[in-house]
Structure 1
Amino acid sequence: MAASKRRSGFTLIEIISVLVILGILAAVAVPKYYDLQEESERKAALASVAEAQARVQLRFGQLVLQGSSCDEAARAVSALSETADAAEGKNGGYRFGDFLLAVDGGALTSAGSAASAKRVDSTGNFEDTGAKLYLPQCGESTNHSFGSSTDMDAIIKAMREAGVSRLDSGALSNATSHSSDVMTALKAAGIDLNAMGATSWSFNSNMLYWTTADIANIPSGTKVPVMRYNPSSGTYTVWSATVTQHTEPGIGTYNMIEKENSQYAASAQAGKENQTYENALKWFDAASKDASWIE
């Protein structure tokens, strides 16, 4: 009976062992918890940046429709105060939803101004979001602003971070988490592929293909000229590509750009040092006017 009573409780060694195990679990779990919390906060801040960019674009369009010149509208929306929920906060910045935003230099530029953010009720410092806010451009087509290394890096990064090896413009759907993640990241970076002239596009095998043509109603098997960006070499080239019809569960049937067939002669003969975005635009325009080369 005495022996039975002695075994009814925990020994000191057992208690210490349990405490050690709990300590180890806490050491592992707490940092993980804070990592997840930081990631959640970062995504929330990026959502506010995306909202700010959308407001800038909308307000710019409203001002132009109301009679302002392009330059006047651009000057107005270059200040965050024009589109913010509230005036400058106690610690600086302008309120967009739950966050205060600030940009380098104090104003938006067409090249992009780095955006930093912090919670409205936070007493800490602004933190860089890694995204930029862009001022709508005047005096040149938005097509000609597309293709900068900044834009391309942001596009490729969004695709990679979403874990996609292929994504097509025709497949975009809220039902697919990958496409949703990609588009959220692109919006946070101030990039609208359609507005920039990439009406139809495809990210395939780490290459980005796009065309100004809407391939949605183009018969499957038709060849169209496309521009291709190669992130490994940083080159822009023009190719012919075949439009194909694809059916995907949960999304439906849509047309997509298949991989390139043959390269446009002027593009192929230029050499890597001349395969710039500006030259690719010229080649694409010429290739679009003469379809005989893609037959």
Structure 2
Amino acid sequence: MQLINYNIGGNMRKSLKLLRGQEGFTLIEIIAVLVVLGVLAAIALPKYQNLDQDAKARACQGAISAGATNLSLAYSKFLILNSVTPSSFSANAWQHSSDSNRAVNVPTVVGDFNVSYSGSTDALVVSVVNWPQAWGSINCQDTGGGNYTNKTYNFNAT
């Protein structure tokens, strides 16, 4: 059997000596990191838990605003086409009592939402009646207590 003598240079010996004392993290260091991560999670998690419901409620608010915009646009269109203010609102359309054929329909589909209109021109209520199916059951209310199920608008031209 022949012995092989490896001659390690000076730089290599210094590198090996430096690595000898390195064996990994201590248990205390790992526990400290886990405690810090736990504290961060405990602070951040409640803040982000409510974001989903708040975002859905704000989307409902946006749908109601878009529905009100549709009402305003149809109202303006009625004025331009007929040169008279509408006397009533029914069946999702602005109408005038003198000629029901001059009605202007108001869209009920607003993006992923459906809205409904009810009431009179003095107090038209825009309500969210349908939202994306993936959302499941929601009530259009954010965690701060803001209710965005419906809103009343006045279109009395006098």
Matches within 5 A, 1:104-143: 107-109=118-120, 110-113=122-125, 115-116=127-128, 119-121=131-133, 122-127=135-140, 128-129=147-148, 132-134=151-153, 136-137=155-156, 141=158
Aligned with residue 46 of structure 1, among 38, 41, 61 = 61
Matches within 5 A, 1:1-295: 5=21, 8-67=23-82, 70-72=86-88, 74-77=89-92, 82-84=105-107, 94-101=108-115, 107-109=118-120, 110-113=122-125, 115-116=127-128, 119-121=131-133, 122-127=135-140, 128-129=147-148, 132-134=151-153, 136-137=155-156, 141=158
Kept after mapping to 2: 8 A contact 1:45/1:118: no
Deviation at residue 45 of structure 1 after TM alignment: 2.8
Rounded Cα–Cα distance in structure 2 between residues aligned with 1:75 and 1:135: 15
Deviation at residue 55 of structure 1 after TM alignment: 0.8
Q: How many residues align?
A: 121
**5+ long unaligned stretches in structure 1:** 85-93, 142-295
Kept after mapping to 2: 8 A contact 1:115/1:131: yes
Rounded Cα–Cα distance in structure 2 between residues aligned with 1:101 and 1:27: 39
Which is bigger in relative contact order (C-alpha 8 A, separation at least 6)?
2
Kept after mapping to 1: 8 A contact 2:113/2:131: yes
Kept after mapping to 2: 8 A contact 1:48/1:96: yes
SS in 2 for 1:107: strand
Query: Residue in 2 aligned with 1:190?
Result: none
Deviation at residue 36 of structure 1 after TM alignment: 4.3
The 3 A distance-change label for structure 1 pair 133 and 24 is same
Rounded Cα–Cα distance in structure 1 between residues aligned with 2:153 and 2:93: 9
Amino acid at match of 1:123: G
SS in 1 for 2:148: strand
Superposed CA offset, 1:197-244 (max 9, x none): xxxxxxxxxxxxxxxxxxxxxxxxxxxxxxxxxxxxxxxxxxxxxxxx
Rounded Cα–Cα distance in structure 1 between residues aligned with 2:149 and 2:112: 18
Rounded Cα–Cα distance in structure 1 between residues aligned with 2:131 and 2:25: 48
SS in 1 for 2:90: helix
The 3 A distance-change label for structure 1 pair 17 and 78 is farther
Deviation at residue 52 of structure 1 after TM alignment: 0.9
How well do the aligned residues superpose, as a CA RMSD in angstroms? 3.5
Kept after mapping to 2: 8 A contact 1:78/1:135: no
Rounded Cα–Cα distance in structure 2 between residues aligned with 1:9 and 1:118: 57
The 3 A distance-change label for structure 1 pair 114 and 95 is closer
Rounded Cα–Cα distance in structure 2 between residues aligned with 1:100 and 1:13: 57
The 3 A distance-change label for structure 1 pair 112 and 56 is closer
Deviation at residue 118 of structure 1 after TM alignment: 6.3
Kept after mapping to 1: 8 A contact 2:124/2:152: yes
**5+ long unaligned stretches in structure 2:** 1-16, 95-104, 141-146
